[in-house]
Each structure stands twice: as C-alpha cells, then as structure tokens.
Structure 1
Amino acid sequence: MQTLKRSMAALIALLALSLSVTARAELPDFTPLVEKASPAVVNISTTQKLPDRAMAGGSMPDLEGLPPGLREFFERSIPRGQGQAPRGQQREAQSLGSGFIISDDGYILTNNHVVADADEILVRLSDRSEHKAKLVGADPRSDVAVLKIEAKNLPTLKLGDSDKLKVGEWVLAIGSPFGFDHSVTAGIVSAKGRSLPNENYVPFIQTDVAINPGNSGGPLLNLQGEVVGINSQIFTRSGGFMGLSFAIPIDVAMNVADQLKKAGKVSRGWLGVVIQEVNKDLAESFGLDKPSGALVAQLVEDGPAAKGGLQVGDVILSLNGQGINESADLPHLVGNMKPGDKAALEVIRDGNRKTLNMTIGNLPDEDEEVAAVEGKGAERSSNRLGVTVAELTAEQRKSLDIKAGVVIKEVQGGPAAMIGLRQGDVITHLNNRAVDSSKTFSEIAKALPKDRSISMRVLRQGRASFITFKLAE
C-alpha cells in the first residue's frame, strides 16, 4: 500500500512538472524579435527656445508637469539657479521621445506631440550616432509626425496590418522611457477601436504594455516583429504607467504619413454632423430594440449631411454597409474616406429604416463655434417640466444657425432642474417633435406620456445634444 502511495505521489509530481514546463514553453521568447527590431528604433530629443523668465524660489518651471516625487528628485539634484539664462537671453526647453525608421533613406515616424513647436530636432540611432532631423510634416489630429535625416542604408522596421490584430495577442514596445534608450516592455492587446476625449479620428489600440514618458512615438510590435502601432498615450493619475496604454494603428499612421510626404497636409472625410451616443433611454425613446448607432444632434448648414437629406434626430446605423455599434465608430469610418467619396447611410427616422446617399466632404481645418444665446419675451410652459421659455429672435436663429426653437428664461424646478437644464439653453425638439414656438412647446409638454423615456434636444453654447427623462405624473 505504501509503495502504491509513493508511486501515485511521484506520478502527480511528474505531471505537475510537465504542466509547468509546458506552460513555460508556451510563453513567447522576445529575444530574437528585440535583437532584430532594436536597431531601427531611435531616440528623439528636441530643443525649443523660450523667452527669459525669472525662476521663483529656484524651482524650474519645466519640471512642473512631472509627478511630485520625480520633480522633488530633480529639484534636489539641480543647484539653485542652474538653467536660468542671463537676463535678455533665451532659455532652452528640451523634451525626449522615441521614433522608428520606416525607410533606409532616413524617414522616421514619431508622435506630433514629441516634436511640436521644436526649433531643433536631434535623432540618436542605436549606434549612438546623432543626426539633425527635418520635420517633413505633422498632423495634430492623429498625433503623427514624419521626420527625415540625411543617411543611407539604415535599418528599418517591417510594417504590419493593424486590422488583423486581435485582442489578447502579445505585443511589444521599444522606446526611451525617462531617457533610458531601447527599453523593452511587453503585454497584450486589451481592446481595439478605442476613442479618447478630443481624439475623434483615431481608433486607438489599447494595451497593458508598460508605457511611460519618453516611450511616445516608439513602435508597438507583434510577435512577427512587425509594427502594428505607434505608442502615443497613457491613462494615468500618477504621471506614470497604470496599466492603460494607447497606440495609433499603423494603418492610420501610414495613411497620414503618406499624405504628409506627398502634400504636407492631411485630407479627411467629413459629414458635417454633431453626434452623440445612444443610451438605453434614448434607444427606447426612438423606438430602437437596443442602444446602438450614432444619434444626429446637430447639422452644419449646407454641409454634406444636410445636403444629403440627413435630419436632426436620425440615428445612423451603418455607413456603406459597415455597422455603427457606438457613436465613436462613425468619425473613424468617415475620417478614413476621401473627400468626394460616396456614402450610403442607413438611418432610423420616426421608427422607420431608410437609406440616404450623399457625397463626403473635406474636413475643415478649424471647427466653427456658435455664440451662446439670450432670448426676450417669455411664456410660462406647463408646470410638468418646470421651465419658462421664450421665442427666439431672427438674429438669434441666424447666429445659432437654426430655423426654430425656444430659449429657457427660467428653471423653476421639477424635471427640468433634475436633468440639468439651465437658463439660456435652447430647446429645438421635444418627444421627437420639432419645437417652432413657445405655444408648440407648451402643447407638446402637456401631452407628454408618463413612465416612458422622453427625448429632448438642447443647444448649449452652440453645442447640441439629446437628453432623456421620465415623468412620474
């Protein structure tokens, strides 16, 4: 019996060892990839001349953006007054980032924010040689920049296909975090197609690869050693890595780079709409089975969408057959199209599906802002909403670029206060009906259903959005 027990124990130990060896064998070996890719990764430093500025208390203003602990370290290490230029001269601000070589004649990809406003750009190669770089072009919207150094027969990185990247796939980053050249970190793809605030035209790759200041502009590589993205941003509350990193897909970056090399600027498709997410309550109010699509909250007058028949309140479900699950999907699709391309939009309007055909426009260089509104002459609305509204003057309608609506003069309480309405907000639609006067608004408000999601379109400082609420009685 003892012999049997010993045999079983030995068998279990052997099986555990086998499983451990198998698990280790399945983990990727990054060394060949790193050896092959590292020579094409570069360190980028920039110099920007700044006006002379007094330094209060001996602290250096250039360190203000660093985390407190790191800033204190540098302040202890730098003698008081060091770095302060004599009065009348200029100081120099330096930044550090990464990049990678995409052609053997010296073209380099990096982030726009690494080289923005630089007076001089210096590129250091893996052999420690340094070259002054020329800025070929930069695109702030995608955060991509193209540099050129005068050199030949340089090592390059092979470009991959970011569309084929899968969530859960191993990826690797090489860069210069905090100035430590050719640091290597690894992780997996956490998500694809992420939208970040103020970054509407890039479907970011989210990873858990450790990225820190200085990694910006460096390559994100798959296990085949192909570049699938440019490391661009991190989500942080401490100033350092917290497990959320974001990379620009290489397909997007190369499209931008090619346009910058050829024309010095980037052209993107444009519809001329302001959209918002469709949540559960909005989906119910518009008669949708589930929250999906992009809700049209505002149209640019004479823009491509307006000319093509799109209306405020339409929910866009697909573009040229490509489904729009979240509202952020639409700018990604439109931005990748060329001005003049044809677009077929499937929309929901008044509960019915229909297809609208239109021509994609060219994204303007700057977004237009619309002035805030104030109205005169008020009419008290139904107490069910708790607002006093007024007619819009012809001048206000023109400045807001709308045909009709009412402006809120006073929020008295009730549902209006609970959903955050303010004096000066303009209501253009209520319960999926256009509001063309105070009288119409009162009539619609009196007939609102109870215990069901109701939508309202509101303009605040020129920005339109749909909000939802329910009436209990």
Structure 2
Amino acid sequence: MTMRLTSQRSALVGALFVALPMLAGAQNAASSATSLQPATREAQALPSLAPLVESVKGAVVNVDVQAKASGGGENPFFERFFGGEGDPRGQRREPIRQGTGSGFIIDPKGLVLTNNHVVEGAVSIIVRLDDGRSFDAEIVGRDPLTDVALIRLKGKVDNLPTVKLGDSDALRVGDWAVAIGNPFGLASSVSSGIISARARNIHSGPYDDFLQTDAAINPGNSGGPLFNMKGEVIGINTAIVGGGTGIGFAVPSNLVKALLPQLEKDGAVTRAWLGISIQDLTRDLAKAMQLPVSEGAIVSSVNDNSPAGKAGLKADDVIVAIDGQQVGSGGQLTRTVALKKPGSTSTLDVFRDGKKQALKVQLGTRPDLEGLSVRPNRGGDDSEESSKARVGVSLNNLDPRVVARAGLKSAQGALVTDVMPGSPAERADLKPGMVVVEADHKPVRNAEELAKLIRKAPSGSTLLLRVEVPGNGRFLRALLIP
C-alpha cells in the first residue's frame, strides 16, 4: 500500500513539473497580449452582464408560500423545481406545505408574474424585494394549463421597480439569455446561457410551447424571469428535466402577454374550442392521402354537437390554415384556437379527399377537460359551494372523454360527483355518476348553468330534472328546493 501511494505521489509531482512550463507559456502569451493595440484588446474582451443585471434585478422577487398540501401542483411528466420543504415520495404529507419560488414585478401598482405551481393552494403569500421590503400578496388569476399566475402586492406600494415583457417570437436559437431568481433560497442569483431551442413540447399539457435554455435554473427559480440582452423578460422559468444538466424550460413571454388581460380581469383563462381530436400530418401520411402539402393537422374524430361538428368538419379532413395563418402541426392548431375568443367565427382551410375547401366555424368554449377550473369567486356565490350548500349536490362539467367511455347520448350536461346523505339531492334520488341534461324542460349545458338555476330557484319550489344514467337511459327526478 505504501509503495503504491509513493508511486502515485511521484506521478503527481511529475505531472506538476510537466504543467509548469505550460503555465509559463501561458504567462508569456498573456504578456504578449498586452502588446496588442487597445482596440484589438477591447474587441477580444467579453462584455460584462453587470449593467443589465443591475438594471433589472430590483424587479425580481422572492415568493414565500404556505399552501394546502392538497394543492401540491405536482406534474408526473417532468420535474418541477418548487423549492422549500420537500415531500419525499411515499412519506406522509403535512396539512400545510411551505415553499419558496420567484417572480417579477410588471406593474408599479404591484402586479407580479410567477408560476401557477408556486402559488397553487396558497393560504399565505409573502413577496420579498431585493431592496429588503416585503409585502403580503393575493392571487389575482391562475392558469394551470400554462403554469402562469398573476399575484398582487397588498398594502401601500410605491417606488416599485418593474420590468417589461419582450417579444419571444423574435428569439433565435443561440441568442443569449439571463435567468434571475431564488434557487435554494439564494436570493437574486444570476445565471446566463443561450436559447437552446424553441417551441418545445415536454408533454406537460395541451399548450406546450416552451423555450429551452441552458442558463442554470434550479429549485426555487420557479416563476423567475428569463431576460434577453435588452433587459426584457422573454420567458417565465418553469421546469427542468429530472436528472438533466443545463436543460430548463420557460413559458414564452408572448403567450404570457396573450393571457394577462383575462388573468387580471377574470382571474382565469377562457379558451375557444373546436371539439376535435387531431394528429400531425407527416410526409408519409401526406403521400398516402395524395395531398400537395406536408404540414397540417389531421382530424381524427369530431365530437357530437361540437362547433366543428356543426360546421361540417369530418374525420380525415386535414386542416392547413385557420384565418389565413398556416397550421404546421396539431399542437400549433390547438394553441392558435385557444387564444381566440369563444363565440367568434373562424375560417378553416381544409383538404378533403384531396380537394381544398374553406369551412366557417363558430368557436365554442373549451370545457374543463382536466378538472382544473380555477375561476375565482369575486363577490358572487361559487357554483360548486352554492349548489352543495343548498341541496347537497356537487357538480362538475362533463368531460368529453367520459362521454365517449360511458356511451352517453349527450356531450353536454352537469355531472353529479357527490351527494350529501340526508340532503334534498339524496331524497330526489340523485346519485354520483348521473348526468343532468335538462332542468325544467330546458337543456343544461354545464355545471355552472345548473348551479345557477339551483341558486335562483325560490324556496319551496321543485326543479324537474332529466338525468342520464350511463348504460341505463334517461329518467326524471324532482328536486325540492329548501
């Protein structure tokens, strides 16, 4: 053992002696560099990011959250990086979890952008600024499908530093990017890198369109800004690849700008909807279908009574443009439709049996397919709580996937999810799994409509309901309103 250590030490010393002349050579090279003309030395010097960082870091904040454990915001498809007290898999969770994320101020009135998974289920939010100030905050709006949230600072806010959202569509792969946030609780940490890719689909949701960057982002960076060299925010840092190094993802700023008006006004995002299943058109499929194009979205199926169905769209139609905008993939079509206004009319350019035609379609409102509705109660009764409190029934919107699996006749209605024992709903023989399709001889389109009817019904009146029981047909129920 001693001989082996001695020989290793000799090798190390030998290596050091070999390295010394190389170091001397490097010193000589450095010395010769000083003889370069000043303009040459300036051109070779890397520019400092310090001026950029100093101009924007004051608007980057820490977001400390206490939240209900049931609002964990976990995603099985990729590793979120919400910092704070962990929840090791398989261990019992505490009723309240604590965590810390990041955010940035976009309005001097105290509006802050962050991630939905940072503030989801929050019972307490404290925002800490770089200048030492701290504020309580409240949620203004959330959108789980894009992981974007808007919060507002409470109390007296003045002299707040702000940053603005830039144009993420102008980015090129290879452009420089700077991330600032609160990784591992280390406030105002700065890292730099490049835009590694655009329009990444990491299968976290239906509207994936992430920027990929190799700027170092870690637990606690969630919700923090990704800047371009102009000091504009071009993304919200959102996700990392589990076990990956230098692979992070950010929600592009242009998508955030499109969502902001609804988040601030309504607290949630309402999206337009076609009611179809789609797949990407590939070169092989285009050849087999004898199409003159190789990009687009193939209609796999059309939901009954959907906007697409009413417009005459059929399976195997290939959508190549919407309102003159080219459709390169199914994902692009989904994102484009989602940003349009429900109830508006769009024109679809479609190939059917090799022939091109234009179809007019009145867009509908996308149902809550994922069961993630977050529309807040702003002064009125909450639909779920009001119906449950008054007659003892919990309702949800009808998922088209449930319609298909259960073989229901109608794609619209209010799904009964829970009935309280001894309640008017139980006495009316309502049961979980039933779908209320009519109330007082009028169609029920969703849970909100039925809850509104229950809320406004006079005491002592009776609502005549028509319910559909999967596999057994339709029946009448009489719901007495207390």
Task: Report the TM-score when normalising by structure 2.
Answer: 0.64
Cα shift at 1:336? 1.4
% identical equivalent positions: 43
Deviations along 1:220-274, one digit per CA (max 9) or x if unpaired, are 11111011111111222x2xx5222221122221332221211222121211111
Contact 2:68/2:121 (8 A) holds in 1: no
Q: How does 1:321-332 map to 2 (within 5 A)?
A: 321-332=324-335
Q: Is the 8 A contact 2:320 2:327 kept in 1?
A: yes
**Partner of residue 141, structure 1:** 145
Separation (CA, whole Å) in 2 of partners of 1:64 and 1:22: 51
Q: Does 1:258 align with 2:261?
A: yes
Aligned with 1:195 (options 201, 207, 217):
201
Matched, 1:368 2:400: yes
Instruction: Find out whether 1:184 has 2:208 as its counterpart.
Output: no
What SS does the aligned partner of 1:302 have? coil
Contact 1:174 1:215 in 2 (8 A): yes
Structure 2 counterpart SS, 1:225: coil
Match of 2:86 among 62, 65, 73: 62
Q: Work out whether residues 278 and 300 of structure 2, in 8 Å CA contact, stay in contact via their aligned partners in 1.
A: yes
Which of the residues 213, 216, 225 maps onto 1:219?
225
* CA pair 348-259 structure 1, distance change in 2 beyond 3 A: same
Shift of 1:304: 1.4
Q: What is the aligned counterpart of 2:248 among 245, 248, 259?
A: 245
Aligned pair in 2 of structure 1 residues 21, 310: CA closer, same or farther (>3 Å)?
Answer: farther
SS in structure 1 at match of 2:343: coil
Residues 169-200 of structure 1 deviation map (CA, whole Å, 9 limit, x = unaligned): 11111011111111111111222222331422
CA distance in 2, matches of 1:216, 1:344: 38
3-state secondary structure, aligned to 1:369: helix
- Report the AA paired with residue 301 of structure 1: D
2:62 to 43, 47, 64: 43
- Number of residue-to-residue matches in the alignment: 337
Distance in 2 (alpha carbons) for counterparts of 1:204 and 1:20: 39
Give 1:219 shift: 0.7
Q: How does 1:287-306 map to 2 (within 5 A)?
A: 287-289=290-292, 291-306=294-309
Q: Gaps spanning 5+ residues in structure 2: where?
A: 1-28, 71-83, 370-398, 413-482
Task: Determine whether 1:112 maps to 2:116.
Answer: yes
In the superposition, relative to structure 1, how do residues 220 and 65 fare at CA in structure 2: closer, same or farther (>3 Å)?
farther
C-alpha RMSD of the superposition? 3.2
Which residue number in structure 2 is paired with residue 33 of structure 1?
Answer: 52
Q: Which amino acid aligns with 1:245?
A: G
Distance change >3 Å, CA 153–CA 22, structure 1 → 2: closer
Aligned counterparts of 1:329 and 1:340: Cα–Cα separation in 2: 20
Give CA deviations for 1:289-309 in whole Å, capped at 9, x if unaligned.
564211111112121111112
Q: Paired residue for 2:128? A: 124
The alignment status of 1:154 with 2:178, answered yes or no, reads no
Distance 2:88 2:43 in 1: 45
Deviation, 1:20, is 8.5
The answer to which of 173-182 and 245-254 deviates more is 245-254
SS of the residue corresponding to residue 254 of structure 2 reads: helix
| Preserved CA contact (<8 Å) 2:165 2:257 | no
Corresponding position of 2:77: none
What SS does the corresponding residue of 1:158 show, helix, strand or coil? coil
C-alpha spacing 1:363/1:50, structure 2 compared with 1 (3 Å):
closer
Structure-2 change in CA distance of 1:168 and 1:23 (3 Å):
farther
Task: Name the structure 1 match of 2:396.
Answer: none
Query: Who is 1:349 aligned against?
Result: 352
Q: 2:339 aligns with which of 312, 336, 339?
A: 336
Q: Deviations over 1:309-364 (max 9, x none)?
A: 21110111111121122221111111111113321111111111112121222211
Secondary structure of 1:230's aligned partner: strand
2:434 — aligned with what? none
User: Which SS does the other structure have where 1:159 is aligned?
Assistant: coil
What is the aligned partner in structure 2 of residue 96 from structure 1? 100
Q: Distance in 2 between matches of 1:339 and 1:317?
A: 21
1:370/1:400 contact within 8 Å kept: no
Q: Is the 8 A contact 2:85 2:97 kept in 1?
A: no
TM-score (norm: length of structure 1): 0.65
Contact 1:370 1:399 in 2 (8 A): no
- Point out the more displaced range, 94-103 or 356-365: 356-365
Gaps spanning 5+ residues in structure 1: where? 1-9, 52-59, 72-83, 374-394, 402-473
Q: Give per-residue Cα distances to partners, 1:27-59, cap 9 Å, x unaligned.
A: 4421101001111000111113559xxxxxxxx
CA contact (8 A) 1:275 1:327 kept: yes
Report if aligned partners of 1:105, 1:153 keep a CA contact under 8 Å in 2.
Answer: no
1:116–1:290: structure 2 CA closer, same or farther, 3 Å change rule?
Answer: same
Distance in 2 between residues matched to 1:101 and 1:262, nearest whole Å: 18
Matched, 1:320 2:312: no
Compared with structure 1, are the counterparts of its residues 50 and 288 closer, same or farther at alpha carbon in structure 2 (3 Å cutoff)? Answer: closer
- Pick closer, same or farther for the CA change 1:36–1:355 going to 2, 3 Å: same
The residue that corresponds to 2:10 in the other structure is: none
The answer to whether the aligner puts 1:206 opposite 2:206 as a matched pair is no
- Aligned partners of 1:160, 1:296: CA distance in 2, in Å? 35
CA contact (8 A) 1:145 1:257 kept: no
Stretch deviating more after TM superposition (127-136 or 140-149): 127-136
Q: How far apart, CA to CA, are the structure 1 residues paired with 2:65 and 2:199?
A: 31
| Alpha-carbon distance in structure 1 between the residues aligned to 2:286 and 2:408 | 29
Per the alignment, residue 313 of structure 2 pairs with 310
Mapped pair 1:234 → 2:258: no
Cα distance change, pair 65–33 in 1 and its aligned pair in 2 (3 A): farther
Supply the distance in 2 between the matched residues of 1:275 and 1:24 (Cα, whole angstroms).
52
Task: Please state whether the residue corresponding to 1:214 is helix, strand or coil.
Answer: coil
SS of alignment partner, residue 161 of structure 2:
coil
